[in-house]
Amino acid sequence: METYEIFGNKLTLPAGRAKEIENTFKPFDFKLNAYDVTFKEIIAMEISPETCEKAKELRKKLTKIRTGSEKARKEIKADVLQLSKAIDSVGKYIKDSVSDKEEKLKEIETHYERLEAEKKEKLKTERLAELAKYEVDGSSFNVENMDKNIWTVFLAGQKANYEEEKERKKQELINRMKEEKLKEIDKKRRTELSPLWSFLPLTEEQKQDSFADLDESEYSNLIKSAEKNKEEFDKKQEEIRKENERLREEQKEKDRQLKAERDAKERELKAEREKKEKLERELREKKEAERKENERKKAEELAKRQAPDKEKLLTWLESFDLNVPEFTDYKFTLIAESFKEHLLANINNAKSKL
């Protein structure tokens, strides 16, 4: 096998085959290089019917190169493919013949190994089943390879852990049920004690403790003590209520007496006030009558003194001649009429003051 360069490609081939390949494809390479200039010229041309025709002719020539080289490739490769198939066929025969014998010999060779493996797999299944009883996943412990004594200790340890965990969960359940029962008893007793809560002989801090901790006797005594305290409290409250009622009645009586005294005093004051008002009213009426009488007398005296003058004034006011003379010019008639109205108004005004 030697390395050759064919058309720029480095290839490793048997002696003589390189020249055969190069001579087979060299004519096609020659033609391809010859058409390269024409190809570049057509690519650079503007599109026209002539350009399209030249492109068609060159394409057909290149197609002949491609199909010709492909036909040559298949011809030169035919013996190689036939040789390859023959080699593969003979190789497969040898391989199949040897493989069948290898498998049978391997089966005999590994007989005891397979028996040991089957034994271990059975042991593994049995031991995993044992561990599963104690809720242990033994797939990661390589149990099939454990020595019998080691396995016995290991299994005993897992069993002990399981029993311990089982007992722990059982005790937790018992404790939880007990705690829930105590909470229920505490809740029930608190409900029963709620009417007596303020009468319990306990501090506020002691009332925070669980009432379930008391036995029946202690709980019964606690209720009796609270009931006694409530009874004493109710009795005291009744005494206070009665005393308050008595004090209210006494106060009512005092208020009634005070009101009666206040009403009598008010009546007395009212009578005195009415008597005083009556005297003051009679005095005012007397003074008003005297004032009116004095004014009447003064008016009479004034009227007597003014009677001659009044008579004279009336006579004078009535002495005016209000008849308007006849004028040739109407202007003077208007002036006279206006003066007449003004004079008549003054005369009536003067008379109203008499």
Residue 149 lies in a domain: yes
| Closest by Cα among 164, 214, 167, 156 to 188 | 214
130-137, long-range: CB within 8 Å, 24+ apart, which pairs?
Answer: 130/155, 131/155, 131/158, 134/158, 134/159, 134/161, 134/162, 135/162, 136/162
Residue 198 lies in a domain: no
Rounded Cα–Cα distance for residues 321 and 312 (Å): 17
For the chain, 354 residues long, give each residue's pLDDT as a single digit of tens.
566 566 666 667 666 677 777 778 788 788 888 888 888 888 898 888 898 998 898 889 889 888 888 888 888 787 777 767 766 666 665 666 567 667 777 777 777 888 888 888 898 888 888 888 888 888 888 888 888 899 899 889 989 998 899 899 999 998 889 889 989 998 998 998 899 898 889 888 888 888 888 888 988 998 999 999 999 999 999 999 999 999 999 999 999 999 998 989 999 999 999 999 999 999 999 999 999 989 888 888 877 887 788 888 778 877 877 788 888 888 888 888 888 889 888 888 877 876
Do residue 76 and residue 115 come from a single domain? no
Do residue 59 and residue 130 come from a single domain? no
Q: Locate the DSSP E strands across the chain.
A: 2-6, 9-13
3-state secondary structure of 6: strand
What's residue 325's pLDDT? 84
| Domain count within the chain | 3
What's residue 88's pLDDT? 64
Do residue 116 and residue 164 come from a single domain? yes
What's residue 9's pLDDT? 67
Do residue 152 and residue 75 come from a single domain? no
What's residue 1's pLDDT? 58
Rounded Cα–Cα distance for residues 212 and 219 (Å): 9
Q: Is residue 143 packed enough to be buried (19+ CB in 10 Å), middle (13-18) or exposed (0-12)?
A: buried
Do residue 162 and residue 118 come from a single domain? yes
User: Which of 34, 65, 93 corresponds to the end of one domain?
Assistant: 93
| Closest by Cα among 154, 156, 133 to 144 | 154
Residue 47 lies in a domain: yes
Element (H, E) at 15: none
Tell me the whole-structure pTM to 2 decimals: 0.33
Domain assignment of residue 15, given as a range? 2-93
The residues pairing with 170 across neighbouring beta strands, listed in sequence order, are none
Residue 331 lies in a domain: yes
Residue 279 lies in a domain: no
Q: Is residue 312 packed enough to be buried (19+ CB in 10 Å), middle (13-18) or exposed (0-12)?
A: exposed
Residue 206 lies in a domain: no
What's residue 279's pLDDT? 93
Do residue 47 and residue 124 come from a single domain? no
Report yes or no: 6 and 18 within 8 Å, Cβ to Cβ. yes
What's residue 233's pLDDT? 92
Do residue 116 and residue 178 come from a single domain? yes
Do residue 134 and residue 51 come from a single domain? no
Residue 252 lies in a domain: no
